[in-house]
Amino acid sequence: MAPTHTNDHDSLIEVLRPDRTAVLVHDMQHDFCSPGGTIYNRAAKHPETIAAVVGELVQLIRVARDHGIKIIYLQQMHLANAADLPPAHVKHLKSSGLAGTIDDIPCIKGTWGHQILDELAPEPDDMIVDKAAFNDFHNSLLDKVLRVQGVETPILTGVSSHAGVIGTFFGFLDYGYDFFIARECVTGYDPELHESAMNIMRPHTMGVAEILAAWSGTAP
């Protein structure tokens, strides 16, 4: 098993200094997280874990705002008629049990399913980055926004751990970011696969308590 992150606490305060971090909220949209959402309906085996993540995120975002920390929403968006979706991607959704027909494609621009959850609705100073991939850096403005905003240590949250979260995990590595996954703010549709993803991401995983302590400068 890979070791957990080994920064000592002093440097962690520095690494997570409010002006160089941001909370990234991935895929917290109706199609992924609400009863009636296309992917939620087919794939969410333990919906209570998604509800728990929403609760944790509401708190994490509130504290982040208090510290002046930036909030960046990573919002899945496909074009009408899934005009941007390769046949192989549709086939993957079907073979993974995530879609039955083309009508199940989630997050079509302008639909209810594409919208971010009411509890996590963006505020005017938040940023929203559209994306249409597992790795949120792919074909999106994510790298540009992080650099322009001076974000050196992004904190990733959202669903699903074993799909877009871990896909973006490798994006952070390839684009050269120091970063963390906020443990309690991430979950997956399938508990076994969630555990698998968290195993692989462990060296970059951090508990919310530790994050909050760093922000407040009280990390022991």
Element (H, E) at 32: helix 30-33
Contact flag: residue 139 with its own copies (CB under 8 A): yes
Contact flag: residue 102 with its own copies (CB under 8 A): no
Of the candidate residues 68, 103, 123, 124, the single one contacting its own copies (CB under 8 A): 124
Q: Residue 110 has which token pair?
A: 């302008």
Contact flag: residue 210 with its own copies (CB under 8 A): no
Contact flag: residue 110 with its own copies (CB under 8 A): no
Q: Are the C-beta atoms of residues 201 and 181 closer than 8 Å to each other?
A: yes
Q: Which is nearer to its own copies, 19 or 192 (CB)?
A: 192
Element (H, E) at 215: helix 208-216
Q: Give residues with Cβ within 8 angstroms of 153, minimum separation 6.
A: 15, 16, 20, 21, 177, 178, 179, 180
Contact flag: residue 200 with its own copies (CB under 8 A): yes
Q: Residue 188 has which token pair?
A: 């997956």
Q: Which is nearer to its own copies, 115 or 149 (CB)?
A: 149
Contact flag: residue 9 with its own copies (CB under 8 A): no
Beta strands at 153-159 and 21-26: parallel, antiparallel or unpaired: parallel
Instruction: Say which residue the tokens 């333990």 belong to.
Output: 46
Contact flag: residue 92 with its own copies (CB under 8 A): yes
Least spacing, CB of residue 45 vs its own copies, in Å: 10
Least spacing, CB of residue 55 vs its own copies, in Å: 26
Q: Are the C-beta atoms of residues 74 and 48 closer than 8 Å to each other?
A: no
Contact flag: residue 84 with its own copies (CB under 8 A): yes
Contact flag: residue 101 with its own copies (CB under 8 A): no
Instruction: Say which residue the tokens 């050196």 belong to.
Output: 152
Q: Are the C-beta atoms of residues 179 and 156 closer than 8 Å to each other?
A: yes
Q: Residue 100 has which token pair?
A: 């039955």
Least spacing, CB of residue 61 vs its own copies, in Å: 18
Of the candidate residues 26, 114, 162, 183, the single one contacting its own copies (CB under 8 A): 162
Contact flag: residue 89 with its own copies (CB under 8 A): yes
Q: How does DSSP classify residue 125?
A: T
Q: How does DSSP classify residue 168?
A: H
Least spacing, CB of residue 107 vs its own copies, in Å: 13
Residues at the contact surface with its own copies, assessed by CB under 8 A = 1-3, 5-7, 79-80, 83-89, 91-92, 94-97, 124, 127-128, 130, 132-135, 138-141, 143-145, 147-149, 162, 166-167, 170-171, 173-179, 190, 192-193, 195-197, 199-200, 203-204
